[in-house]
Amino acid sequence: MNIATIGQTLAAYTAQAGNSRPANVTSREAGATPVAANATRTVDLRNVSLNEINSLIKAGVDGLLDIAPMMHGNLFANADPQARADVKIDYLGQIEGAIAFDKSRGTNTDFLESVLTKLKRIDGMPLPGGLDVRA
């Protein structure tokens, strides 16, 4: 193993005096735009918690009470109720899975498909004004 080049590589990364930066670092001034802190947040039903669903229902968003989201049983063993309500779930994925399961059994899926259509209209909409949802 040749370690003679380690000292040369190390020298390339040593700090320099002044305000200079390495050439490979991009700066915000070079055209990168930071995300605005007050950017419009949207509803994401593929990554949503029960608390967020509850807040949407309280804000008057219709269609979220047709089918209750399912939580995995392991969540209830060691977590306090507040922590359980903050766990993110894939609400749309659950309904899509239920539709696929019912179709595989030859069961009518009209109700589930109508619920999925409603939820897809909600997914991606801007959060209602004044809605306090944690990131």
Domains of the chain, by residue range, sit at 40-122
61 contacts: CB under 8 Å, gap ≥ 6: 43, 122, 128
pLDDT at 16: 44
Q: Report yes or no: 54 and 89 within 8 Å, Cβ to Cβ.
A: no
Please return the burial class of 52, using the count of CB atoms within 10 Å of its CB with bins 0-12, 13-18 and 19+: buried
Q: Give 77 or 38, the one with higher predicted confidence.
A: 77
pLDDT of 68 strictly over 90: no
How do residues 70-108 score in pLDDT, each as one tens digit? 877 766 666 677 777 888 889 999 999 999 999 999 999
What is the overall mean pLDDT for the chain?
Answer: 73
What is the rounded average pLDDT of the residues 10-28?
44
Q: Considering the entire predicted model, what is its pTM?
A: 0.62
User: What share of the chain has pLDDT > 70, as a percent?
Assistant: 61
The C-alpha atoms of residue 55 and residue 51 are separated, in whole angstroms, by 6
